[in-house]
Amino acid sequence: MGVDQDDKNNIVIKEKKKKFRMVETDERELEQKLRAHRRKIVRRTLIVIVVILALFFGFYLYLATRTFTDYTALNTVERSDTAAAQFEEFDGNILKYSNDGAFYTDKSDHMIWNQTYEMQNPKVDICQGYLTIFDRGGTAVYILGTAVYILNKDGMQGNIKTTMPISRVCVASQGTIAVLMREDTTSYLQLYNKEGELLASGELHQENSGYPITIALSDDAKKMAVSMLDIGEGKLQTTIAFYNFGSVGQNEIDNIVASYTYSDEVFPQMEFLSSNRMVAFGDSSILLFEGTQKPKVTQKTTLDKQIKSVFYNTEYIGVVYNNEDSGNTRHVEVYDMKGKQVLSKDFDMDYSRISFLDNNEICVTSDVECRIYSLYGVERFRYTFDRKLYRVMSGATQMNYTFILDGTTEKVRLK
């Protein structure tokens, strides 16, 4: 019996269908598999991130807790210095000054400006973009500023000549200066603008107000503090008086807006940390004053040992004592502006200078030795040089510094 063409085609189609099996897709199962896959990817990603963070934190912890004992000089610049040269950091660059002049250079020793003068005992006071160089015990004051020096070929903003020996000079952020002078039993206070023009003046007579031992000028030059020592009838006391040269002070006698007296204590050092905050260092306490017009005591830290030295910046205040009952010969304490102690540490170095670096690290130096500590008390760097060390400046990272050594300036990296 024959088969027509249509029947043949139907048979072929049926045979092909037998080779395939129809599978229905379970959408819920597929969605669960996709979720599981996504979770797996997220877990892997989180694990990678955690590992990277752990490695980064471990490396940071390693650097933060390691004590470096050597360094690599990245750049060395030779200098020619006199035996009397002294160095200060000023606006990120280097100020070198001596009895016969001052030189202001960048860290590569490129000259920014220079100023000649003749002084017997040159001292420097710095506030932001201005500095003043004065002859302590002499009669000369020079007012210098970085911004104006760039534009001024001579570099000098003002030149003041006094008729009496200078005891102390303070400069404000806009170049205004306060000068304390003494002659016999009378002291004189004078305020000048950066051009050297007299703005205000006054006299302090020892028999009336005591003996002024130091002054401090606020950053905005609106307030000045005077520490006056009085020894009368066998009793010692110090009075800290605040002057206000603004409208508030004009309504007060002699512009005095606040006065505080402390018995049996001397305050030989004071410093405005900003326009509205001042610290006074006494032989048994540290006082913090705050106020825009009439400063008040906001924090008092009582000290139970004699202070060897103090150091400070706008965030922290540090004091150093001599240890009498320990193998370590020194003890340092650091406080924040609320009076909270953030560091208490012994160290055994005979030092000549201690200061905060720009990164809040504590730098302790002698003529040839340097140690750098973190605020956590970790000794980050220890080194003894083969020549005199003048200054240490922090660099772009916590591994980079600038060492001002005898004859050279070196940009270095710790190793």
Q: Which domain holds residue 65?
A: 41-78+306-414
Q: Could you tell me if residue 177 is inside a domain?
A: no
pLDDT of residue 375: 95
Structure tokens that stand for 326 in this block: 């320990």
φ, ψ at 266 (rounded to 5°) = -115, 135
pLDDT of residue 31: 81
Domain count, the chain: 1
pLDDT of residue 153: 32
Q: Could you tell me if residue 219 is inside a domain?
A: no
Q: Which residues of 256-265 are buried (b: 16+ CB within 10 A; e: fewer)?
A: ebbebebeee
Q: Could you tell me if residue 191 is inside a domain?
A: no
Nearest in space to 133 (alpha carbons), one of 99, 108, 162, 92? 99
Q: Could you tell me if residue 392 is inside a domain?
A: yes
> Is there a contact between 301 and 318 (Cβ–Cβ < 8 Å)?
no
Question: Cα angle at 126 between 125 and 130, to 5 degrees?
Answer: 120
Q: In the chain, which stretches have pLDDT less than 70?
A: 1-26, 143-156, 326-328
Question: 185 CB contacts (<8 Å, ≥6 apart)?
Answer: 205, 206, 207
Max Cα-Cα span within the chain: 149
pLDDT tens per residue across span 375-390: 999 999 999 999 999 9
Q: Could you tell me if residue 45 is inside a domain?
A: yes
Alpha carbons 66 and 62: distance in angstroms, whole number: 6
Structure tokens that stand for 163 in this block: 């008729």
Q: Could you tell me if residue 170 is inside a domain?
A: no
Q: Could you tell me if residue 115 is inside a domain?
A: no
Q: Could you tell me if residue 117 is inside a domain?
A: no
- 75 beta partners: 411
pLDDT of residue 147: 33
pLDDT of residue 306: 86
Give all strands (DSSP E) within 99-185, no chain letters. 101-105, 111-116, 122-127, 130-135, 140-145, 156-161, 166-171, 177-183
Q: From the CB of residue 206, how many other CB atoms can be counted at a distance below 10 Å? A: 17
